[in-house]
Amino acid sequence: MSTASKSTDETKLAEEIVGILDADAVRVCSDDRDSIRFAVRSTGMKLRSIVLRRWALRRLLHDPAGPVKVEYLQRELRRSAGQRIEYTYPRKSTVVRRDLPAAFKPALAHGC
């Protein structure tokens, strides 16, 4: 699979996830190598930006339970639109830091 088609698939998946919000309020703000960012402009929502990491979208594309997870992300995004300023997938608290020694990574992955 070429890099261009991978990028297109990730972009389509990102648009599917944010598609549950009002189309007039959401637009692609930045499409870089690491993430896809959307700007949200709506007076009825507290949400102002959505950041979807490309590596997480790639993993989601190849996951057998991907469609179910996409539905979950859509529900979570809709629910958090009135509560958060920024929505990030995956959440920063679930990402294991790569700069830590290996002994700390399992504890952080489980929220300790």
For 47-67, how does the pLDDT look when each residue is reduced to its tens digit (9 = 90+)? 999 999 999 999 999 999 999
Q: Can you say whether residue 111 is alpha, beta or left, with left for phi > 0 and alpha for psi between -120 and 50 degrees?
A: left
Computed on alpha carbons and rounded to an integer, the radius of gyration of the chain in Å comes to: 15
List all residues 6 or more positions away from 64 whose beta carbon is below 8 Å from its beta carbon: none
Whole-structure pTM value: 0.74
Residue 104 has pLDDT above 90, yes or no: no
